[in-house]
Amino acid sequence: MIETQTAAETTVLRGYQAFGARFALAQQRAIIGDEMGCGKTVEAVAAMAHLRAEGERHFLVVCPASVLINWMREVRGHSTLRPYRLHGAGRDEQLLAWAGSGGVGVTTFESVRSITLPRVRVAMLVVDEAHYVKNPDTQRSKALAAWTRRIERVLFLTGTPIIFGLPQRKTCVFAGSSVSPIFSSSWPLVIRSWM
């Protein structure tokens, strides 16, 4: 059994959130599709905190610029993990600090294309607002595809699970990777393997 309550996590999760975090850890590659406000960010932070408790050090979050500050706040507020802003002014210094100390690097879809990682092993990639990469022909989708091929654990988060249909989910996993979607919130919890 995977336990998500760790010393690196400072928040008690609701039952469905604990399930989502454990599911993401067990599946290694997953999509969590919940309505806004159900706690997808907290589930991702809990999964990263669990991995930190097992000795992992580096995590990467890719999100729209509009929610970057929120991710920084949520990581600080729900875990003992340190967030690093890998976007904008001071990005290179923050990247080196993150590489040396570990923690959660938080960047944007635009910035991730130009990040060159120092020699670090990223334990988990979290892609927030995953519907931003549903078109495989865009630069951001191609950049994320390259990242997903290098990182073993990938967690896609989306607040549009019903609109985010099967073809788009397949696009998000890139190159036939095995991913299991979670749908919950106002709908009954459904877990389906569709690949």
pLDDT of the chain, 195 residues: tens digit per residue? 344 445 455 567 887 788 888 888 988 888 887 767 777 899 999 999 999 999 999 999 999 999 999 999 999 999 999 999 999 999 999 999 999 999 999 999 999 888 887 688 999 999 998 878 877 788 888 888 888 888 989 998 887 654 444 444 444 433 333 343 332 232 222 332 223
Q: Is residue 156 part of a domain?
A: yes
Q: Is residue 121 part of a domain?
A: yes
Range of the domain at 124: 27-187
Residues in the chain: 195
Q: Provide the number of structural domains found in the chain.
A: 1
Spatial contact of 184 and 31, defined as CB atoms under 8 Å apart: no
Q: Is residue 76 part of a domain?
A: yes
CATH of the domain at 175: 3.40.50.10810
Q: Is residue 14 part of a domain?
A: no
3-state secondary structure of 4: coil
Spatial contact of 58 and 120, defined as CB atoms under 8 Å apart: yes
Q: Is residue 13 part of a domain?
A: no
Q: Is residue 163 part of a domain?
A: yes
Strand pairing partners for 180?
A: 30
Structure tokens at 140: 């951001």
Tell me which DSSP letter residue 9 carries.
Answer: B
Q: Is residue 2 part of a domain?
A: no
Spatial contact of 179 and 30, defined as CB atoms under 8 Å apart: yes
Give the sign of the dihedral formed by CA 107, CA 65, CA 61, CA 113.
negative
Q: Is residue 96 part of a domain?
A: yes
